[in-house]
Amino acid sequence: MGDADGDGRPELLADVPGADVAGGSESLTTVLVAFGANVVIAVAKSVAAVMTASASMLAEAAHSWADAGNEIFLLIANRRAHKKPDDLHPLGHGREAYVWSLFAALGLFVAGAAVSITHGIQELISPAPAENFVIGYVVLGVAFVLEGISFLQSARQARAEATSLERDLIEHVLATSDPTLRAVFVEDAAALTGLVIAAAGLFAHQLTGSSIPDAIGSILVGLVLAWVALLLINRNRRFLVGEEADPRVRKAALEALLNAPEVARVTYLRLEIVGPRMISVIGDVDLTGDDTEAHVAVRLRALEARISASPAVAGAVLSLSAPDEPTLTV
């Protein structure tokens, strides 16, 4: 079961779902692709917004600049989360990923949603005609292709991890402990939706000569961004306050412990997410045999080491079960 640790004994939780997914470098690639695409798109949309005077195009420009800024937060999140444990942070710095991703979600809400909705309302109050519609359509088309490339990269990573955890794609995106993957996937999906809305608003403006559909498109783009931002804020909040690992991960971990020859019973087990693809393990176990207290302490420490050897485990703390505690079953 997995690689052997320093004592030649196998890692206990090496086969837990998700433990074999090396997603750190993949997440960095996903964020870099998204950042590059968003910078190019933001510049193009800004030029098009000036040339067309379209409210929807301006909303899309604000959206892309917000996304580009958010990728910087996500790059920081990815880097900080992978700092090595130290004396003050024995479980590592994984939760920093949720802090910086929370900043990114707040930025999306303020710089993307609020700006788009405000400009749309202003356009309704003081309408202005648009022009150079062809330029707007070309920029939106190029943006759709670039956003699609970024979205496919995040979807490919998410699909590989979802398969490991036996989840469908959307379920994994919402549940994954990797906030950068979730942010890029959801923001790209929102961007593609926003591009369709902006194109429809621009076309309606051209067709009717009225800026009202364009303004409504800007407001709709803002509402989409607000919904996405609130979704991301809530998910990061839940991981920051502490969230139990997926039931499938818990079941696999419990099976691995019960199958260990030195473990007679498991009476308590908590797997808490402490960072992207990282959990801490706290449990009460009853060891086989009837050893002295000193020998039991050594065996417990060895068992903790085998658990912590898994790449998915930030740390493990085990205690002895009381005789009257009920046994956990799979």
What's the number of CA atoms in the CB half-sphere (13 Å) around residue 132? 13
Using CA atoms, how far apart are residues 58 and 66, in angstroms rounded to an integer? 12
Supply φ then ψ for residue 232, to 5 degrees: -70, -40
Using CA atoms, how far apart are residues 173 and 179, in angstroms rounded to an integer? 9
Helix spans in 165-266 (H)? 169-175, 179-208, 212-241, 247-259
Distance of CA 97 to the CA centre of its chain: 9
Q: Which letter does DSSP use for residue 276 in this model?
A: T
Using CA atoms, how far apart are residues 104 and 98, in angstroms rounded to an integer? 10
Helix spans in the chain (H)? 23-52, 55-81, 96-107, 115-125, 133-164, 169-175, 179-208, 212-241, 247-259, 293-308
Using CA atoms, how far apart are residues 50 and 32, in angstroms rounded to an integer? 28
Cβ–Cβ contacts within 10 Å for residue 107, how many? 18
Please name which of 98, 84, 56, 64 lies closest in space to residue 234, comparing C-alpha atoms.
Answer: 98
Tens digit of pLDDT per residue, the chain (330 long)?
344 444 445 566 665 665 554 555 677 888 888 888 889 988 988 988 888 888 878 888 888 888 888 888 888 888 888 888 888 888 888 899 999 999 989 988 888 888 889 888 988 888 877 778 888 889 889 999 998 998 998 899 889 888 877 889 999 999 989 998 899 899 899 989 989 998 998 899 888 888 888 889 889 988 999 999 999 999 999 999 988 988 888 988 899 899 888 999 999 999 999 998 889 999 999 998 888 878 888 999 999 999 988 888 888 999 999 888 999 988
| Inter-CA distances, 268 with 124, 168, 321, 322, 328, Å | 60, 29, 8, 10, 7
Sign of CA dihedral 254, 235, 68, 71: negative
Report the predicted TM-score, pTM, of the whole model to 2 decimal places. Answer: 0.81
Using CA atoms, how far apart are residues 204 and 226, in angstroms rounded to an integer? 24
Please name which of 239, 249, 139 lies closest in space to residue 180, comparing C-alpha atoms.
Answer: 239
Residue 74's contacts (CB-CB under 8 Å, 6 or more residues apart) are 31, 34, 100, 101, 104, 179, 180, 183, 184
